[in-house]
Amino acid sequence: MIESAAQRLLEPGEVLFRTGDIGHEAYLIESGAVEIYVDRPEGRRVLALLGADDLFGELALIGDQTRTACARAATATRLSVITHDLLHDQLERAAPLLRHLLRVTLARCRSNLRMIGDGENPAPTSIAPATEPGSVGSLALTRLRLERAIAEAIEREELELFYQPIVRLGGGHVVGFEALARWRRSDGTLVPPGEFIWVLEDSKLILEFGRWVIRKAAADLRKLDAHHQPIRVDDEPLFCSVNLSVRQFGDPELLPVLRAALADHALQAGQLRLEITESGLLNNLNAALELIEQCRALGCRVVVDDFGTGYSSLWYLHSLPVDGLKLDRAFLQDSTRSDRGLRIVRAVGRLAADLDMSAIAEGIETPEQAAICHDLGLDYGQGYYFGRAVPLAQAQALLRRQVADL
């Protein structure tokens, strides 16, 4: 049997566990087949033959029970491993009411299991049937597999950072970049961000990955800065914005990693900017306030991303010492279609100026939108009109062209 933290590969006939073994793991069949059986004086009795997407061993995992049957590979088989840590992580991620319901249900399962003897047919207490396509169970399995694939991609260093330019409106010159995660598979194909970012941000993987992003962005910013030359006398040093997930708010290593990244690459603190979504702020206000104050003490700037999409936006602005607002692209699209949209963009520009904050318009796709944002008082712009997110080498080339055009 070949083992890893997340996978088991079984040869045909190989035994995974026997009756009486401690049940500290459950298994999901990725490929192959597993035979569940019991040994009797009269011979082996097969209880079930399981195939792809079948889950087994889950009740022993939940109740910390010994195995009530044996399991062996009927063919070459690949299993995903479900541990106590994974189960706990999934519970912690659930909404409070659902988390409480699941904990009560699991506690009752444990209580019931203690009253169940070995019996003649233990299969119902240890085997879950395959899920139907499109069901909640099927979606859960898809998410679990994607999370495992991302973990393997991180180990193989398949995740990388692309950089989308942020420009000063009016002049149109690059003053910074936003670091955006991309997944390049071993065959060179890129996985669209929408297919994996949500899983990454909603798992414990985001903590280590988030620290890597900060270290990598700082190292790349140093390389980008070597090709940058301020255009206006009031231009600040080249900066890079990094997105923070809600799950990173309580990461005790976040600030030390930030501090070390700045020092290791001789960057000014203001050159690394942290973007936090408005919904993330409002759902975790106390944790966000503590994090923002710590970042400000370090000298890093904090920008509210997707501004205008949450509730009570004006209420929290006087409570949270943020440095900038990034206007959600939906308002920008409305600005070219209605007078109301124009007024909202103008109001955000004035609000940011009155609060001594920078204002960034994202999602700019046309010269008309860029001109509107500039005329309405926004400082910076970002979007396909100015450039898509590109690898480091292309971002460096962009800065070199900008210097050559001076």
Query: Are the C-beta atoms of 68 and 125 separated by less than 8 Å?
Result: yes
Looking at the structure, tell me whether residues 158 and 225 fall in a common domain.
yes
Are both 216 and 100 inside the same structural domain? no
Residues 362 and 383: beta-carbon distance below 8 Å? yes
- According to the model, what pLDDT value does residue 62 have? 65
pLDDT tens for each residue of 107-145: 655 555 444 444 444 443 345 555 555 554 565 667 777
| Overall average pLDDT of the 235-259 stretch | 92
154 and 13 both lie in a single domain: no
Q: Are residues 160 and 114 in the same domain?
A: no
Top pLDDT among 63 and 193 is at 193
Q: Which of 80, 95, 130 is the last residue of a domain?
A: 130
Identify the pLDDT of residue 241.
97
Residue 143 falls inside a structural domain: no
Same domain, 186 and 52: no
* Same-domain check for residues 295 and 172: yes
Query: Which amino acid is located at 109 in the chain?
Result: C
pLDDT at 47: 87
Cα separation, 295 vs 317, in Å, equals 17
pLDDT at 355: 86
392 within some domain: yes
For the segment 317-321, the average pLDDT, to the nearest whole number, is 79
State phi, psi for 388 to the nearest 5 degrees: -85, 170
**Cβ–Cβ under 8 Å, residues 380 and 166:** yes
- For residue 118, the model assigns a pLDDT of 42
pLDDT higher at 57 or 4 = 57
Q: Are residues 25 and 62 located together in one domain of the fold?
A: yes
pLDDT value at residue 296: 87
One domain for residues 125 and 153: no
pLDDT digits (tens, 9 = 90+) for 167-211: 999 888 999 999 999 999 989 999 888 888 888 888 888 999 999
395 lies in a domain?
yes
Give the Cα separation of 301 and 221 in Å (integer).
Answer: 15
275 plus 200 within the same structural domain: yes
- Looking at the fold, whether 344 and 256 belong to one and the same domain comes out as yes
139 domain-assigned: no
Domain-located, residue 78: yes
**Structure-block tokens of residue 75:** 């063919």
Q: Which residues form the domain of 156? A: 148-404
pLDDT for residue 405: 83
135 assigned to some structural domain: no
Three-state SS for 141?
A: helix
pLDDT of res. 97: 55
Report pLDDT digits (tens) over 148-168: 888 889 989 999 999 999 999
Q: Given this model, what pLDDT does residue 92 score? A: 66
Asked whether residue 359 is assigned to any structural domain, the reply reads yes
**Bridge partners of 152?**
none
- Of 96, 130, 164, the domain-final residue: 130
pLDDT tens for residues 248-274? Answer: 988 999 999 999 999 999 999 999 999
Last residue of a domain, one of 130, 164, 196: 130
User: Could you tell me if residue 137 is inside a domain?
Assistant: no
Backbone phi, psi, residue 78, to 5°:
-115, 130
For 350-386, write each residue's pLDDT tens digit: 888 888 899 999 999 999 889 988 988 888 999 999 9
**Mean pLDDT estimate for the chain:** 83
Give the total number of structural domains in the chain. Answer: 2
Question: What is the predicted pLDDT for the residue at 107?
Answer: 62
386 to each of 80, 172, 364, 391, 397, how far by Cα in Å? 44, 8, 8, 15, 14
Residue 335 maps to which CATH number?
3.20.20.450
Could you tell me if 152 and 261 lie in one domain?
Answer: yes
The mean pLDDT of 82-95, rounded to a whole number, is 70
CATH code at position 90:
2.60.120.10
pLDDT at residue number 398: 96
Residue pair 177/224 in contact (Cβ under 8 Å)? The answer is yes
Task: Please tell me whether residues 118 and 44 are part of one structural domain.
Answer: yes
